[in-house]
Chains A and B, each alone.
Chain A
Amino acid sequence: MASGTDKSAEPAMVQESAFQRFLRATELDTRLLGMVGALVLIWIGFHLAGIWRTGNGIFLSPRNLWILLVQTSSIAVMTTGMVMIIVMRHIDLSVGSLLGVIAVIMGYAQVYVLGPWLGVGHPAIWILTVLIGLGAGALLGAFHGYLIAYAGIPSFIVTLGGLIVWRGAAWAVIRGETVAPMDERFELLGGGPFYASIGATASWVLGVIICVVIVLAIRSGRQSRQKFNFPLRPIWAENFLGVVGCLLTLGTVWLVNSYYFPPKLANDYAEANNIPIPEGGLMIPHGFAIPVLIAAAAGIIMTFVAVRTRFGRYIYAIGGNPEAAELAGINTKRITLLMFSIMGVLAAVSACISSARLNAASNALGQFDELYVIAATVIGGTSLAGGVGTIYGAILGALVMQSLQSGMTLLNFDSAYKDMAVGSVLVFAVWLDQLYRRRTN
């Protein structure tokens, strides 16, 4: 094991600072560190501003951070696909409208079709609804992909058209009505009612499982590199990554478990489940909210697709050099169609989250989401020139944007000023990113 340390000495650089050595050994991306730093600064800044304005900071309270995560979920899910679309040198302006039309289709299906047919409250309703939504997303996305890949219409135009068409279609499906309420179980997907989270025990179990996976992944990565006698990371760097990964995971679990049911709801819940109420009130932790888990799952699955599958490799290769990808024998048209179809599915997932959270479907749902999704993706380091971008970066970008919005809401900013601030941050972030890239290249 100790021999790994020597092998990591690939090209010997002269005069490396301790920090540079640390970065090289851990193979951490400096952009990632920068974004995490920016996020922490934003959080602390809003917390301090809260203390200054009102006397008590609430931004860094478990309740606020828990809500922040829930509010980020819908956008975060869509950024995981938008990264790959933009990496492939395309754009999808239609995701907000897709979300709207799919939400309306799902609302219509459960309220006017599945409810009357199966009986309101039937346990299959939410499953069928979700399947209908995902199917619609896959089809609509594939349709966009077909027009882009096979008919050769630029994605900007196809999805700009989609932005307008699907918003109109959302209105047409329900003639501008609002469909409500959603099926009870479906509603849980939005984290809406307070029980739409998995509770303390399950959250800890999940946290521990993730920690085990992190450790196993680091070990198996090291072993396979050892098998081929490749240079290894120094053992301290591996340990560092493992420890930080586990601490972050468990810290998040602790955070979501520190947000308790409000007293009245806790009492209702206790009564409904025949739990005796102890003195001082019942403390029921929320644990992870279901939409947050959905977003995390989307992030993990899409990261897996991006870095571990041929499909993902081809997306990046197409973004790097479309002609080279074609000459390498990659069927770039099929990949394009498939990617837009996946984007449609992700918009459908977000449609589930958004309409469940609102407990209603209206044709205005998801309006302007395409802008937030693209902004989050770009803030997260995805280059509009294509070829470069990470999914974790985009999710962090979504978190940054939502933090700004929530923080300003807590400080009672008018929404007009919020919009102005968020827009400026987008431009500022991209400018910073370009400075950074110019320096590192």
Chain B
Amino acid sequence: MSTTMTAHTSPTIQAFSEGRKPLAEMRDISIAFGGIKAVDHASLELYEGEVVALLGHNGAGKSTLIKILSGAYQRDNGEIFINGEKATIDNPRDAKRYGIETIYQTLALADNVDAAANLFLGRELRTKWGTLDDVAMEAATREVMGRLNPNFRRFKEPVKKLSGGQRQSVAIARAIHFNANILIMDEPTAALGPQETQQVADLTLELKKQGIGIFLISHDIHDVFDLADRVAVMKNGRIVGTARVGDVTKDEVLGMIILGKCPPGAIPGPGALAS
């Protein structure tokens, strides 16, 4: 019933996209861990130059859903389309080949090696003899880190010795250095102070301008509401609904997060409270 109402009162996703193909589309994705349905028939799409905020309580299934897109988990059910074509993403290498880069909530850094080794992990630059080109990698790292964190100097130290913010910037540097089409940021500002958080926000807008599609995951609506074009809310592994930011208020989104109640401005998903 709320579906029909929504169709009348708010521009639907089709209207937003104006017939464009989504960069990425996840259709009917499910995964269970030993009986727990971590993600339950979730569908979500992302367009060029769009920031989609994926919101929900801790344990709602946000990280799990995007880990399926980034190849870290294998889904039990559902399909993924990249640029309209069905994609095979069985491992992180596959995802990177499709231009999907991810900043994981845990950062996924190898603590015992330095920033450059982490930035290029799995994609090392090599000399003409096939050996590691550490100097070139350090140069590139200095360049990217110079943009993200100009005061950073500790290029020779294992990242375990860096501060939380510095580690976070290494993880961000790794995701943006390889010309991603689709960027997934899972709680990227969790370890950052206000100034660094603002830097990440600026960076997000800059990347968006370049046409990159961004999934921005957060459990806190205030972090992302101003950055996002759309919000998608998850609860208990299910999508409560998606909405353009202009069509819903912060309070309504909070209602989606806390109660699973889908407001009129949003398109309800399978997790919406039946009303």
Instruction: Evaluate contact between A313 and B91: CB separation under 8 angstroms.
Output: no
CA distance A318 to B124 in the complex (A): 15
Query: Which residues of the other chain, B, contact A417 by a CB distance below 8 angstroms?
Result: none
Query: A2 on the interface (CB 8 Å rule)?
Result: no
A31 to chain B, nearest CB (A): 14
Which residue of chain A has its CB nearest to the CB of B138?
A230
Interface stretch, picked from A75-83, A170-178, A221-229, is: A221-229
- Per-position binary interface string of chain B over residues 96-131, scored 1 when its CB falls under 8 Å from any chain A CB and 0 otherwise: 100000101011111111000100011110100011
* CB within 8 Å: A-B pair count: 84
CA distance A378 to B110 in the complex (A): 22
Instruction: Evaluate contact between A319 and B112: CB separation under 8 angstroms.
Output: yes
Given contacts A10-B153, A310-B124, A329-B91, contact A228 B138 (CB under 8 A): yes
Which residue of chain A has its CB nearest to the CB of B127?
A308
Instruction: Evaluate contact between B92 and A328: CB separation under 8 angstroms.
Output: yes
CA distance A325 to B72 in the complex (A): 11
Query: B132 on the interface (CB 8 Å rule)?
Result: yes
Query: B139 on the interface (CB 8 Å rule)?
Result: yes
Given contacts A230-B138, A329-B92, contact A324 B113 (CB under 8 A): no
State the majority secondary structure of interface residues on A.
helix
Which of B93, B132, B136 is close to A309, meaning CB atoms less than 8 Å apart? Answer: B132
Query: Which residues of the other chain, A, contact B96 by a CB distance below 8 angstroms?
Result: 329
B216 to chain A, nearest CB (A): 19
Query: Which residues of the other chain, B, contact A224 by a CB distance below 8 angstroms?
Result: 135
Query: Which residues of the other chain, A, contact B91 by a CB distance below 8 angstroms?
Result: 329
Which residue of chain B has its CB nearest to the CB of A319?
B112
Query: A316 on the interface (CB 8 Å rule)?
Result: yes
Query: Which residues of the other chain, B, contact A318 by a CB distance below 8 angstroms?
Result: 110
Instruction: Evaluate contact between B121 and A387: CB separation under 8 angstroms.
Output: no
Instruction: Evaluate contact between A329 and B112: CB separation under 8 angstroms.
Output: no
Query: A13 on the interface (CB 8 Å rule)?
Result: no
CA distance A329 to B126 in the complex (A): 17
Query: Which residues of the other chain, A, contact B92 by a CB distance below 8 angstroms?
Result: 326-329
Query: A364 on the interface (CB 8 Å rule)?
Result: no
Query: A235 on the interface (CB 8 Å rule)?
Result: no
- Per-position binary interface string of chain B over residues 123-156, scored 1 when its CB falls under 8 Å from any chain A CB and 0 otherwise: 1101000111001101100100000000001100
Instruction: Evaluate contact between A317 and B113: CB separation under 8 angstroms.
Output: yes
Which of A11, A225, A323, A329 is close to B122, meaning CB atoms less than 8 Å apart? Answer: A329
A438 to chain B, nearest CB (A): 15
Which of B108, B138, B153, B154 is close to A327, meaning CB atoms less than 8 Å apart? Answer: B108
- Per-position binary interface string of chain A over residues 332-349, scored 1 when its CB falls under 8 Å from any chain B CB and 0 otherwise: 000000000000000000
Query: Which residues of the other chain, B, contact A227 by a CB distance below 8 angstroms?
Result: 135
Query: A241 on the interface (CB 8 Å rule)?
Result: no
Query: A409 on the interface (CB 8 Å rule)?
Result: no
Instruction: Evaluate contact between B132 and A324: CB separation under 8 angstroms.
Output: no
Query: A320 on the interface (CB 8 Å rule)?
Result: yes
CA distance A307 to B132 in the complex (A): 8
Instruction: Evaluate contact between A327 and B104: CB separation under 8 angstroms.
Output: yes
Instruction: Evaluate contact between B121 and A324: CB separation under 8 angstroms.
Output: yes
The 6 closest A-B pairs by CB, nearest first: A320-B112, A320-B110, A328-B122, A387-B112, A329-B93, A317-B110
**Contacts beyond the supplied A319-B112, A328-B108: 6 A-B pairs with Cβ under 8 Å:** A227-B135, A228-B139, A317-B113, A320-B110, A327-B72, A328-B121
A-B contact pairs, 11 of them (CB 8 A): A230-B138, A308-B131, A313-B117, A313-B124, A317-B117, A319-B112, A320-B111, A321-B110, A324-B108, A324-B110, A328-B110
Tell me the A residues contacting B by CB distance below 8 Å: 10-11, 224-225, 227-228, 230, 307-310, 313, 316-321, 323-330, 387-388
